[in-house]
């Protein structure tokens, strides 16, 4: 089997972790992402899921230049594919921040975004180093459902988002029903 075949199989396994497995999933996620950094964008960047849009497009469409400059956080940014897409689209200067707990994914993001003005932070979503009420938009692509305990992450997002700020996530279809 090819490397991407193995990664796709493991990815499927990871996405369908049971709730009890999620309790101890940090080590699994760290080891998975250090073996396959960038696997998510390789699998999903070119998949058009909705009238010609990829699932990344659905998130980046939210960031308009009309209200620039905005502070935008990509939570669980992986190899920085969504951030790069935002850099390409934006006409005006937004402050872009990527957070991920995987050093391997962040390393890939740093390479991808080497020429861009993006802040990349290696930290957990439960304990962000960002200031209170400092973020306009939080975007999260196929990451939010892996964060556990999710209530702590939601509290943290509430803390860092400005009043009227927006959180938008792409998650697997059945995730919300399991919450
Ligand atoms: C499936 S990947 C998605 C990566 C990227 N958003 C994309 O779609 O290309 C999930 C990412 O979330 C990160 N992650 C999972 N739990 C996290 C947590 N509690 N805090 C920060 N990052 C986390 C993982 O390290 C991984 O890079």
Is 143 a pocket residue for ligand 1 (Cβ < 6 Å)?
Answer: yes
Q: Can you give the CATH number for the domain in which 150 is found?
A: 3.40.50.150
Q: Tell me the average pLDDT of the chain.
A: 87
d(CA 122, CA 51): 34
Ligand 1 geometric centre to CA of 78 (Å) = 5
Is 136 a pocket residue for ligand 1 (Cβ < 6 Å)?
Answer: no
pLDDT of res. 145:
92
pLDDT of res. 6:
54
How many of the other CB atoms lie within 10 Å of CB of 30?
15
pLDDT of res. 64:
85
d(CA 38, CA 133): 30
Q: Give the total residue count for the chain.
A: 179
Question: Which residue range(s) make up the domain with 46?
Answer: 3-172
d(CA 11, CA 7): 6
Is 32 a pocket residue for ligand 1 (Cβ < 6 Å)?
Answer: no
Nearest atom within ligand 1 for CA of residue 76:
12
pLDDT at 25 over 80: no
Domain count, the chain: 1
**Is the residue at 126 inside a domain?**
yes
Is 55 a pocket residue for ligand 1 (Cβ < 6 Å)?
Answer: no
Residue whose Cα lies nearest atom 25 of ligand 1: it is: 102
**Is the residue at 32 inside a domain?**
yes
For the stretch 129-141, pLDDT in tens is 999 999 999 999 9
For the stretch 91-135, pLDDT in tens is 668 999 999 999 999 999 999 999 999 999 999 999 999 999 999
Is 101 a pocket residue for ligand 1 (Cβ < 6 Å)?
Answer: yes
Helix (H, G, I), strand (E, B) or coil at 48: strand
Here the tokens at position 128 are 């962000």
d(CA 125, CA 74): 10
pLDDT at 3 over 70: no
Ligand 1 geometric centre to CA of 38 (Å) = 10
pLDDT at 153 over 80: yes
pLDDT at 1 over 50: no
For the stretch 40-75, pLDDT in tens is 999 999 888 778 899 999 999 999 888 878 999 999
**Is the residue at 178 inside a domain?**
no
**Is the residue at 91 inside a domain?**
yes
Ligand 1 geometric centre to CA of 76 (Å) = 4
**Is the residue at 16 inside a domain?**
yes
């Amino acid at each position: 089997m090819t490397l991407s075949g193995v990664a796709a199989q493991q990815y499927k396994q990871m996405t369908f972790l049971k709730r009890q497995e999620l309790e101890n999933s940090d080590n699994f996620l760290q080891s998975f992402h250090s073996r396959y950094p960038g696997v998510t964008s390789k699998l999903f960047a070119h998949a058009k899921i909705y009238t010609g849009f990829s699932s990344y497009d659905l998130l980046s469409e939210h960031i308009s230049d009309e209200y620039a400059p905005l502070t935008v956080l990509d939570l669980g940014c992986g190899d920085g594919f969504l951030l790069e897409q935002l850099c390409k689209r934006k006409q005006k200067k937004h402050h872009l921040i990527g957070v991920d707990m995987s050093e391997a994914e962040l390393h890939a993001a740093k390479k991808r975004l080497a020429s861009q003005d993006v802040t990349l932070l290696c930290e957990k979503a439960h304990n962000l180093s960002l200031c209170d009420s400092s973020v306009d938009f939080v975007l999260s692509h196929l990451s939010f459902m892996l964060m556990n305990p999710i209530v702590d992450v939601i509290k943290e997002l509430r803390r860092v988002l400005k009043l009227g700020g927006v959180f938008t996530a792409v998650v697997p279809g059945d995730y919300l029903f399991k919450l």
